[in-house]
Chains A and B, each alone.
Chain A
């Protein structure tokens, strides 16, 4: 899923300063699971911002709404009947949701309430870690299911580098060496022969290097 992190309230306060009526818009998908922008976070942020402005006798009003998804026009249409009630929308969705909402409502100012971080997994309560960089051509079949693109700082396809020590990356003790993980898993799977095969130069045109990407599936288009 997409992992996001709540923006500091101070930053949000500065962003919303020019507006009086602000709709805080949550998303029921990824940001709900990573506890950054779901219904609960919408409630808490609305309450915190209301408290701040009540304390200053500012006449700002905050609305709360959480859509099933903000990356789908079908659900964004739910805002249309109320769009004139608000001066701006503070979206707690990922960058995709914020942009798609902005595209759907061209005259409604859109502000982001979270920082979108990565594609990751819920490793533990309150801990999310990166697992994929959406490079557009998956190499996991060759690397025992461990991604060197997202988990190796150097994105090495033939690793490890000289910075790997005791299973850790030279970045620090908190970061596992992806290639150590790959080798350990290849050994466990009795597939060390795969490690001897040199990976060819990766086609990075499917990554961001090729510009914004599009997926078209004609079979399901109407």
Chain B
């Protein structure tokens, strides 16, 4: 893919939409297990990855995220039956759109895990962070980070 990364912050910004029934709990477990994973992930808890639509992923990229990942339940084990399968299809749609607009489709990815997989969460977080570092910063101009609320 042809991209023109602008000189920007070296730290990638990855937005991770995590299902509360699995990935979010797995991230919690990873913390309890004292497993370390890259700090590049900004985790957003969602009731189900099926809630995440194409627009949420595109907006994250438009707002300056270098990568977006969805982490949902194992296939066949969605709390809402098929939310993770819908999310998988939508990630596919976003990849197609990114290809069409000459961005690397690897900037978005779907992962599946269960709430007991703390170690797997640390693994996918590392995998995604390494991938995004390899791709370099998003060519989208960075917006300044918002200051934390006092």
Contacts and interface: CB of A to CB of B under 8 A. Distances in A.
A55 B62 contact: no
A86 to B, nearest CB: 20
Interface size, B (range): 10 to 19
A161 interface: no
A54 B100 contact: no
Contacts, number: 44
Interface string B35-73: 000000000000000000111001101100000000000
Interface in A41-55: 43-44, 47-52, 54-55
A48 B58 contact: yes
B97 interface: yes
A57 B139 CA distance: 9
Given A8-B100, A9-B97, A54 B54 contact: no
Interface in B1-59: 3-4, 53-55, 58-59
Contacts of B117: none
Nearest to B141: A54
Interface in B89-125: 97, 100-103
Interface residues of A, number: 17
Contact of A47 (B3, B59, B103, B139): B59
Contact of B58 (A47, A55, A56): A47
A55 B55 contact: no
Which of A13, A47, A57 is packed against the most chain B CB atoms within 10 Å?
A47
Nearest to B5: A55
Contacts of A73: none
Contacts of A43: 55
A50 B63 CA distance: 11
A48 B141 contact: no
A19 to B, nearest CB: 17
A48 B3 contact: no
A48 B102 CA distance: 11
A51 B63 CA distance: 9
B140 interface: yes
A163 to B, nearest CB: 36
B139 A55 contact: yes
A17 to B, nearest CB: 14
A51 B61 contact: yes
B100 A55 contact: no
Which of B53, B54, B101, B140 is packed against the most chain A CB atoms within 10 Å?
B101
5 contacts: A44-B97, A48-B58, A51-B58, A55-B139, A57-B141
Given A10-B100, A44-B58, 8 more contacts: A8-B100, A13-B101, A44-B54, A44-B97, A47-B62, A48-B58, A48-B100, A56-B4
